[in-house]
Amino acid sequence: MATSQTMTDSNAPSAQSEGALLVMLPPLEQAAFEAILANLRTALPAQDLVISAPEGISADAYPGFRFATTTPTKTSWTLTAADFVNAHQAATKNQARAVLMLGPESQSLDTSGLRDLANAVLAAPADLAIPCYELPPQAGLVNSSILYPLNRALFATRVHFPLAIDLGLSLRMAERLAAAGQRLLSANQSDAPVWPVSEATVAGMTIDEVKVGTRALPHPADPDLNSVLPFVTGSLFSDIEAKAAFWQRARVTPPAPRTTPTAHSQPPDASAEVASLVQGFHLAYSNLQEIWRLVLPPNSLLALKRLSFVDAPTFRMPEALWVRIVFDFLVAYRLRTLNRGHLLGALIPLYLAWVASHINIISSGANPDRHIEALATAFEADKPYLVARWRWPDRFNP
């Protein structure tokens, strides 16, 4: 094993670092930094790595590793525009073969997951390696209800976590994402997410989804759903709007791989949580009808009226209704039917109604993964409705 302890100069790449895998790490506490180094040493040959490090790191303290000083970034629960710009700049300076971007809490990733993410862009012809995390059935529901099914329906991809916090990138993928990030930086949106899956799809690049098992996911600085859902959904809606010329064309989603659905233990009793969510929906139905009427067609409003009379134990939101809600809110976002902040705020109680329905469904014994896949299939099937509304919005006037 090589034992070079030379700090890579930010302006002149070391000959030793040429062709290496650049590992981009977020700001980490000492214990977390050392833990991820230990996992990387187990997963990959240390001499093939160049690791981003905070200023002042002593290379002598970590023999066998090579480090590159990179532009400091703020810790975030998503990869941001600034992260992708910095990653491409560092990859260029260090003449890296590929990039492995790791987010906060990445020390919780299994070494086999790290290895597979890296090898997907080093040894396999993938431009984007994106992890598939194994989460509890009631976790990541914004992703399961909106991000994953929308990306699948519009960009014909089965990537389950389109806003993953860890990524493997080829150099051309890193360049593409840096260009997208630079556009956001120019608009003074350095903390905005970039959507790697849609960027790769539009550019015709190869995507490989890698199962990495469980992972401790970082939480937003402000975990309030009233902040998180508008932030993430608004970013996705903006990305979809920018790529409308691409996704309106018909595409076929690749067939699902033959896998056995994950076996989940019986979820704990969540009747009290469901009762609270349904009560919140009933209250929202009384207070938000005027806003919803600006966005939703009569059939959806009628279905919501019926749901407003349903008690918590039997509360179910039909998949087709949720699909239409998301599609119609997306169109209203594009048309600026009302202030976008108010619009996305009005989506929150409808999302929570979907959550209540999802919890009831899986509590009855349904497999959570099968329910999410059925929902994504419903999004795909109803895509023509979205395309028609997008092209001819004046045909429908709520």
Residue whose entry in the numeric block shows the structure tokens 């092209």: 391
Q: Report the CATH number of the 7-223 domain.
A: 3.90.550.10
Strand runs labelled E in the chain:
7-8, 21-24, 49-53, 66-69, 98-101, 128-133, 167-170, 207-213
Residue of 2 and 162 predicted with greater confidence: 162
Mean pLDDT of the chain: 89
- Domain residue ranges in the chain: 7-223, 271-395
320 has pLDDT over 50:
yes
> Comparing C-alpha atoms, which of 385, 367, 188 is closest to residue 260?
367
Measuring CA to CA, how many Å separate 133 from each of 136, 171, 176, 215, 378?
Answer: 10, 24, 24, 7, 23
* 62 token code pair: 């970590």
Residue 51 structure tokens: 């690791």
Supply 319's token pair.
């998949």
- Residue whose C-alpha is closest to residue 166's, from 259, 257, 36, 318: 36
Report how far residue 53's alpha carbon sits from residue 55's, in angstroms, rounded to the nearest whole number: 6
- What is the rounded distance in angstroms from the CA atom of residue 274 to the CA atom of residue 279? 8
3-class secondary structure, 210: strand
pLDDT at position 264: 65
Listed in sequence order, the DSSP H helices in 314-367 are 319-335, 340-363
pLDDT at 3: 31
Any idea which of 209-213, 222-226, 341-345, 367-371 has the lowest mean pLDDT?
222-226
Could you tell me which residues come within 8 angstroms of residue 395 by beta carbon, excluding any fewer than 6 positions away?
Answer: 388, 389
The candidate with the shortest Cα–Cα distance to 391, out of 249, 199, 189, is 249
CA pair distance 243, 387, nearest whole angstrom: 13
Residue 145 pLDDT > 70: yes
pLDDT at position 92, please?
94
pLDDT band of 153, cuts 50, 70, 90: very high
- Of 194, 160, 200, 161, the C-alpha closest to 178 is 194
pLDDT at 367: 92
Q: What pLDDT is recorded for position 17?
A: 42
348-365 pLDDT tens trace? 999 999 999 999 999 999
Looking at the DSSP bridge assignments, the partners of residue 266 are none
pLDDT interval class at 385 (50, 70, 90): very high
Enter the pTM of the model: 0.90
Structure tokens at 325: 């809600």
Half-sphere exposure of 289 (CA within 13 A, CB side): 12
Across the range 200-222, mean pLDDT stands at 93
pLDDT of res. 71: 75
C-alpha distances in Å from residue 194, one per residue of 81, 150, 197:
6, 16, 9
Band the pLDDT of 262: cuts 50, 70, 90. low
Instruction: Pick from 18-27, 28-37, 168-177 the range whose average pLDDT is largest.
Output: 168-177
Which of 174, 276, 286, 197 lies closest to 243, judged by CA?
Answer: 197
Mean of pLDDT values over 57-73: 79
Predicted confidence band of residue 257 (pLDDT cuts 50, 70, 90)? confident
What is the C-alpha to C-alpha distance for residues 116 and 96, in angstroms, rounded to an integer?
18
Task: Considering only residues 205 and 9, tell me which one the structure prediction assigns the higher pLDDT.
Answer: 205
Would you say 189 and 81 are in contact if contact means Cβ atoms under 8 Å apart?
Answer: yes
Neighbours of 270 (CB within 10 A): 16
Identity of the amino acid at 357:
S
